[in-house]
Amino acid sequence: MDLPVMPPVAPMLAKSVAEIPPGMQYEAKWDGFRTVVFRDGDEVELGSRTGKPLTRYFPEVVEALKHELPPRCVLDGEVVIAREGRLRFEELLERIHPAASRVAMLAERTPASFVAFDLLALGDDSLLDEPLSVRRPALEAALAGAADPVFTALASTDRDLARSWFAEYEGAGLDGVVAKPLDQPYRPGERTMFKIKHERTADCVVAGYREHKSGPVVGSLLLGINDAEGRLQHVGVCAAFPMARRRELAEELAPLRMDDPSGHPWGAWADEAAHAGARLPGAVSRWTGGKDLSWVALRPERVAEVAYDHMEGTRFRHTAQFRRWRPDRTPESCTYAQLEEPVSYDLARVLGR
């Protein structure tokens, strides 16, 4: 493979905002695996958001891309699975499996599609330094003849249309709207776009759990987010699980248990002085004074998407709700930069002053 843009490429990212900003290009936010596609003739590679290859997990997509894409190109997009009129993220997760026979079976049973929304290279030319206003028409021209299961994402500069997408497309399993500045080049790994979602969610590191009062099953998952210095801060918990799921989680997380937590980012939690300037589980407060604050340390390797209502300082105000595991995320990518910044409002107006 010899392309003007070579793998791996970290895709350009988005930061959550509360409102659809004006004066941009708008697209629906797809609920799939973010994927950068590299094609050089018969060679096709699918790169994940983390840079790890996805190629072996989606053989049917690879074959389709050989037929539907220009001979030499690099595209940014999303691998999705659609069934019964909705996107099915859970079925994407099933594809990440070590057995080639199972991958082949699922490729036939629940085939995936690729939705392209940016063009990073075409032929011998890199388009990374070109503004979106140039890249988007080039993408549409390059994929003008493409057919199912390769699609070009809808895009518009009409803000009112974007609002209608936001309201209507949720019923099809889409995740909101993405707004992209038209004058910006493609900036790998940077949060230069904006996403507007139907609920506040965050990707968190699951760094431990507390056992349930009934016995050795998961009572609550301990969630962490990295601060600007790369320190994992304890931001809250997920706790609302049926008992059967609590038992499943205990078994699922058992391989990550740390018998010696001294090397854990929160290993010093029992030392009261360690809580100064950091958020660790086990901090004593007037709410927890009489409780057993011990917890089971896990290697901080797994990422979960959780829903929350709002932040209080640097932590979730209330218990977060577990949504799903995110194997396409790395612990390092879970930073405060991803969190929605609520629009400020003058308290005096609320109080009538």
Q: Could you tell me the domains of the chain?
A: 13-196 (3.30.470.30), 201-338 (2.40.50.140)
Highest mean pLDDT among 138-147, 195-204, 332-341: 138-147
CA atoms within 13 A on the CB side of 132: 22
Q: How confident is the model at residue 18 (pLDDT cuts 50, 70, 90)?
A: confident
Overall average pLDDT of the 139-160 stretch: 95
Report the distance separating Cα 116 and Cα 144, nearest Å: 12
61-95 pLDDT per residue, tens: 999 999 999 999 999 999 999 888 788 888 998 99
Q: Report pTM.
A: 0.67
CA 4 to chain centre: 27
Q: How confident is the model at residue 198 (pLDDT cuts 50, 70, 90)?
A: confident
Give the number of other CB atoms < 10 A from CB of residue 232. 23
Report the distance separating Cα 263 and Cα 268, nearest Å: 9
Considering 29, 180, 195, 197, which one is annotated as catalytic? 29
Overall average pLDDT of the 2-29 stretch: 95
Residue type, 347: L
CA atoms within 13 A on the CB side of 274: 15
291 belongs to the catalytic site: no
175-184, 190-199, 206-215: range with lowest mean pLDDT: 190-199
Residue 58's pLDDT is: 97
CA distances from 287 to 138, 181, 282, 283 (A): 58, 46, 11, 10
Whether the pLDDT of residue 203 is over 70: the answer is yes
Please check whether residue 282 is in contact with residue 271, taking contact to mean a CB–CB distance below 8 angstroms: no
Q: How confident is the model at residue 293 (pLDDT cuts 50, 70, 90)?
A: low
Residue 334's pLDDT is: 95
Whether the pLDDT of residue 335 is over 50: the answer is yes
CA 278 to chain centre: 25
20-29, 112-121, 166-175, 280-289: range with lowest mean pLDDT: 280-289
DSSP state of 29: -
Name the token pair of 267: 């290993």
22-26, 279-283, 309-313: range with lowest mean pLDDT: 279-283
Residue 289's pLDDT is: 42
CA 118 to chain centre: 18
